[in-house]
Amino acid sequence: MDYCLNENVKIISFTLNNKKVKAIIDDKTTLLELIRNVFGLMGAKEGCGYGKCGSCTVIMNGKSVRSCITKASKAEGSEIVTIEGLGGDDFSLDPIQEAFIDGGAVQCGFCTPGIIMTLKALFTENPNASEEEIKKALKGHLCRCTGYETILKSALLAKERINNNKK
């Protein structure tokens, strides 16, 4: 980590959606502010600002994190993936994104990126996650539109598709 004008301002380097990047931050900058305001990636949203709603979830070093309460300085040397980093370079969708569309789990879409990123981290670590493990991973994600039933069905559909593609 390089220091700039004063010790509260730093230059950090990390990988964002498979690209090496650098940014100038201060001690107060959150990972969400960095992702949205510096890199222009709008998938992660600030819902509550306290890490309670899940709409800001991204993957850092393979784990889902609430970017609204994670300091940007934690990104130093990390690998971060946002919803914009899923799928392929040809703009294809990740199987979880496809399952959410096919399962009708996307309504207003505000919470969807955070939920999908949590599921991506879960299924990467445990492709055979049980329904209870999926529910536990999604605990704390707030959705005002779907009633959660279609989200769970779509998560199970995504798990099935991911496991079928591995055969």
User: What residue spans define the domains of the chain?
Assistant: 10-85, 95-166
- Per the prediction, the chain carries an average pLDDT of 93
Inter-residue contact 155 to 132 (CB < 8 Å): no
Which residues fall within 8 angstroms of residue 114, CB to CB, at 6 or more apart?
44, 45, 53, 54, 55, 56, 57, 141
Fold of 10-85: Ubiquitin-like (UB roll) (3.10.20)
For residue 2, name the pLDDT band (cuts at 50, 70, 90).
low
- Region 18-38: what's the mean pLDDT? 97
Check residue 8 and give its pLDDT: 85
Overall pTM > 0.85:
yes
> Is 95-166 a domain of CATH 1.10.150.120?
yes
Percentage of the chain exceeding pLDDT 70: 95
Paired tokens of 46:
């600030």
What pLDDT shows up at residue 33? 98
